[in-house]
A = this chain, B = another copy of it.
Amino acid sequence: MRLVCLLSTLAKSLAPPKTLLRRRRLSSATALSMAASEESLRLALSEKQAAVDTQAEAVRALKARPGAAKAEIDAAVESLKALKVDAGAAARRLQAAVSSSGDGGSREAFRQAVVNTLERRLFYIPSFKIYRGVAGLYDYGPPGCAVKSNVLAFWRQHFVLEENMLEVDCPCVTPEVVLKASGHVEKFTDLMVKDEKTGTCYRADHLLKDYCKEKLEKDLTLSAEKAAELKHVLAMLDDLSAEELGAKLKEYGITAPDTKNPLSDPYPFNLMFQTSIGPSGLSPGYMRPETAQGIFVNFKDLYYYNGNKLPFAAAQIGQAFRNEISPRQGLLRVREFTLAEIEHFVDPEDKSHPKFVDVANLEFLMFPRKEQMAGESAKPMILGEAVSKGIVNNETLGYFIGRVYLFLTRLGIDKERLRFRQHLPNEMAHYAADCWDAEIECSYGWIECVGIADRSAYDLRAHSEKSGVALVAHEKFSEPREVEKLVIVPSKKELGLAFKGNQKMVVEALEAMSEKEALEMKASLESKGEVELTVCTLGKDVVITKKMVSISIEKKKEHQRVFTPSVVEPSFGIGRIIYCLFEHSFYTRPSKSEDEQLNVFRFPPLVAPIKCTVFPLIKSQKFDDAAKIIAKSLTTAGISHIIDITGTSIGKRYARTDEIGVPFAITVDATDSVTIRERDSKEQIRVGINEVASVVKEVTDGQSTWADIMWRYPAHSAIQTNE
């Protein structure tokens, strides 16, 4: 399956087999932009290597020739050396080109620094660590949990409250029928192979991918043809059937990585955690793989709640579960995660959005289909233009793209490392009108963190069919409208005479005709008097004459239009967003004495796990008392904080809180006024003890910036602190 399957759009896009292509397209887009240079480098290397071989042969021949002049031999050896240097340089250039964009090492090192800090400061913890953990399950420790809770609170504010969405909260335990309707029971699978001796399970595509990448990166003797083949396999990875994948594994002689044992043939493994509801063992259930289905099955009630009016949006935050075969990539691919999903229901005939003007002027990196296919890269576009030019399918989809951009950047995601990538036609489900992913660049590459899809009427129709409950909307006409309706009236008498016992099947076949078929029959009957009709239930064609059926177009008055709404679905992988935020917020700076690097998370106050710390400068009863008074006023103002009364130096205490991203530190160095220090600039101001809570509140609530505050209060020189 795809790298990017955390999000629900994906789960659902699985339904039609042709939509399993996301990972492939992403690879090919990248491949296209790199292929040219890499191929010429491979060619250059093999030419240089050939020149080395030829010259080496010449040197050998020269040395073997009796009476060859030493000067001549020396010159030939010098020339060979020069050619070897050349070939070495060509090999290094190729190596650099093939090892993931050249900076793989520094990316790894950066990631390791972030992850070390995150784990050491308990942003997250491998779950059940004392029992040696479970792959793909993580706990958020105190600062991580606070960040998550802040991100979700802001999500509620930014989407649910701002847009008056209807938030719901449905259970994780889901009966099978719901996930049969959605297609998950049948299609939500990855292909798996087993070590035939030990039974260890692997994802089949992972093994093939690892093989191809390793070959391409490490085997510089690879011919250009072989390299192209392996790249093609990588690009096709998600398109391969179980049989094709199995054949490739065999062809390349791929065995179990740990034991080198032979592997089983690939077979599908359903990624849902299965369970049983109730005591009988007869009601299979699953832990939901996404939250969206809970909204779809409630459409009827929610539509009623909204006064039977469209458009409206419902939203849900909750846990989702995927029993990954072999989780990798830390917090990015996990077995349980928090999703925040919006289903915005809209009339398919009117996808305009009244608030689109509010986001139309935003400009950010977009990566439309066309640019991907041409091997170009993402480019800044103005959202309003993308919609008016038809690059983004409609205003409602565009509105949510804009709102997602604002959401992510306000959290602290770097604008330069955020792009909206459009799905290629064959990445999308056949029913989808348009899909865009918010991708964030981190040390693992560009990661899909939010999917924004116009899924048309697919989900509501699927549940309508399975449940037999109409999930539709009504548009009441202000006055009745005249519409043309096709009317097919079979003549039972004539049909009875002609077909006897088969009459019923013929009647049904006539009534089941589409408008197009019926109109064609009408034309044929009028011109030829008779026509053949295939009756599937009889397994044969019968001849229908003019007398047997009357087909007409009649005018009728309708008082309302009944239709299945379209749904635009922004779906947020909260854990992925948070992980990328961690990477984008992390930096190091030297300590004052420059003997060590200090870690800092530059979280905006909105997401910082703790908004401020209170440090008595030295151990003293009166400073401790003042610190307690300040703490109390901070609590009253609803500002999370910690007091650190350890005797450690102020510099060390600052470093400790910078490392968990606390934006402000209050140092109690007097009993009437104190200093407030900002984390990133390290600037300090002096504020009266009674004002300090309100000042911190002002700047953490976003009513003022630190610059505003700096302007109003005297700066404090930090001579006595040892930063």
Contacts and interface: CB of A to CB of B under 8 A. Distances in A.
A305 B122 CA distance: 7
A372 B275 CA distance: 42
Interface stretch (A7-15, A123-131, A431-439): A123-131
Interface stretch (A64-72, A174-182, A393-401): A174-182
A135 B280 CA distance: 13
A276 interface: yes
Contacts of A469: 130
A287 B275 CA distance: 9
A539 interface: no
A590 B646 CA distance: 63
A467 B132 CA distance: 9
Given A129-B298, A131-B177, A169 B148 contact: yes
A277 B323 contact: yes
Interface residues of A, number: 81
A269 B279 contact: yes
A280 B200 contact: yes
Given A161-B635, A172-B319, A323-B277, A300 B130 contact: yes
Contacts of A137: 171, 173
B122 A279 contact: no
A321 interface: yes
A307 interface: yes
A463 B336 CA distance: 23
Interface string A618-644: 000000000000000001001010100
Contact of A335 (B135, B277, B280): B277
Interface stretch (A138-146, A246-254, A526-534, A675-683): A138-146
A302 B162 CA distance: 37
The winner among A167, A177, A297 for most chain B CB atoms within 10 A is: A167
Contacts of A141: 166, 168, 298, 301-302, 305
A268 to B, nearest CB: 11
A174 B287 CA distance: 13
A391 interface: no
A390 interface: no
Tell me how many chains of this kind the complex includes. 2
Interface in A458-506: 463, 466-467, 469, 471
A278 B166 contact: no
A334 to B, nearest CB: 8
Contacts of A169: 139-140, 144-145, 148
A116 interface: no
A545 to B, nearest CB: 45
A274 interface: yes
A156 interface: yes
A167 B639 CA distance: 16
A290 to B, nearest CB: 15
Nearest to A135: B278
Contacts of A122: 301-302, 305
B161 A156 contact: no
A560 interface: no
Given A139-B294, A278-B325, A638-B157, A173 B129 contact: no
A622 B353 CA distance: 22
Contact of A467 (B131, B201, B285, B466): B131
Given A139-B294, A174-B128, A177-B131, A323 B167 contact: no
B139 A298 contact: yes
A497 to B, nearest CB: 45
A381 interface: no
A175 B323 CA distance: 13
A127 B171 contact: yes
B131 A297 contact: yes
A105 interface: no
Interface string A354-391: 00000000000000000000000000000000000000
A168 B139 contact: yes
Contacts of A171: 127, 137-139, 335-336
A170 interface: yes
Contacts of A142: 166-168, 302, 305, 314
Interface string A284-314: 0101000000100110111001010000001
A34 interface: no
A273 interface: yes
Given A273-B275, A280-B201, A172 B128 contact: no
A512 interface: no
A335 B173 contact: yes
A285 B199 CA distance: 19
The winner among A141, A156, A274, A302 for most chain B CB atoms within 10 A is: A141
A276 B144 CA distance: 27
A325 to B, nearest CB: 5
A129 B141 CA distance: 37
Contacts of A156: 149
A127 to B, nearest CB: 5
A173 B273 contact: yes
A192 interface: yes
A412 B426 CA distance: 55
A226 to B, nearest CB: 32
Given A130-B467, A141-B298, A145-B167, 9 more contacts: A122-B301, A130-B469, A134-B173, A135-B278, A142-B305, A173-B321, A173-B336, A192-B279, A279-B323
**A-B pairs with lowest CB-CB distance, top 8:** A140-B169, A130-B467, A142-B166, A201-B279, A130-B469, A171-B336, A139-B170, A145-B167
12 contacts: A131-B175, A134-B277, A134-B285, A139-B169, A141-B166, A142-B167, A200-B280, A201-B278, A274-B275, A276-B323, A277-B335, A287-B287
Interface of A: 121-122, 125, 127-131, 134-135, 137-142, 144-146, 148-149, 153, 156-157, 161-162, 164, 166-175, 177-178, 192, 199-201, 269, 273-280, 282-283, 285, 287, 294, 297-298, 300-302, 305, 307, 314, 319, 321, 323, 325, 335-336, 463, 466-467, 469, 471, 635, 638, 640, 642, 646
